Amino acid sequence: MKRFLKISSILFLSFVIASCGKDGCTDPTATNYNPSADKDDNSCIILGCTDSNSINYNPNATDDNGSCIYSNSYLLNGDWNITNLQYETQIDIPILGSQTISGEANDAGYWYFQFPEYTCSNSLNFVTEGIDILGQTLPGVPIDITSEGTWELSNDDNNLLITDLTTGLVSDYQILSIQEDICFLKGIIPFVIDTMGFTINSEIDIEMQLNKQ
């Protein structure tokens, strides 16, 4: 009789254990998925992008794995300092003729982009290298350009088009590289300067390094 009760107790306990659900992660996409679990205990770990501002945001991700990808429009948003600028331009000076000016400038102004409003403002402010003519070095040309306008991206977000609200002129910049806190742009800017008593219309080729404030 005792033997019978012992066997019955073992069978009963085995039945109870077998009938109890096993807690664990039941999501097969999770890194800690447990195929034996039949009751989810909210322990699932799903790697992915957890930033809703990214274009590959995963609302199911529990742990960010650094895979977030952001659109160039989102990355451009904010205040930027023009920390470095390389330039080249040709200006036609009466009597002296066409002159090529090139060089480099630091802390040359700022850009301010608003997204998703797609408005912007900028200031380009520096003095070029001096002009060597007939053994004499003339003073550098002051470049002082400010504008407000709108912007858009084209060519798979690789080109930045700026439309000036006052003149309607469109400047086209190539986005060489962009990250959250640094951006490199290359383009051509039209400008008007008054120097030596003359008004000169010209364009300047620039390559800029922008750093976000």
Confidence at 190, pLDDT banded by 50, 70, 90: confident
Which tens digits make up the pLDDT trace of 146-167?
A: 999 999 999 999 999 999 999 8
- Judge residue 201's burial from the number of C-beta atoms within 10 Å of its C-beta, 0-12 exposed, 13-18 middle, 19 or more buried: exposed
Asked if omega into 190 is within 30° of 0 (cis), the reply is no
What pLDDT score does 141 carry?
78
Structure tokens at 34: 């447990």
Ordered by where they begin, the domains of the chain are 2-64 (no CATH), 72-212 (2.40.128.280)
CA distance 111 to 22: 58
Nearest to 149, CA basis, from 161, 135, 160, 165:
165
What pLDDT score does 8 carry?
53
Confidence at 17, pLDDT banded by 50, 70, 90: very low
What pLDDT score does 211 carry?
98
What pLDDT score does 194 carry?
61
Q: Which stretch, 15-24, 99-108, 170-179, 197-206, has highest mean pLDDT?
A: 170-179
Tell me what the mean pLDDT of segment 114-136 comes to: 87
Task: Report the Cα–Cα distance between both ends of the chain, in Å, rounded.
Answer: 85
Which tens digits make up the pLDDT trace of 55-97?
A: 999 999 999 999 999 999 999 999 999 999 999 987 766 666 6
What pLDDT score does 140 carry?
80
What pLDDT score does 204 carry?
85
Tell me what the mean pLDDT of segment 52-57 comes to: 94
Confidence at 1, pLDDT banded by 50, 70, 90: low
Higher-pLDDT residue of 148, 201 = 148
Query: Phi first, then psi: what are they for 74, rounded to 5°?
Result: -65, -40
CA distance 210 to 87: 15
What pLDDT score does 16 carry?
44
Nearest to 128, CA basis, from 137, 138, 139, 140:
140
Higher-pLDDT residue of 141, 167 = 167
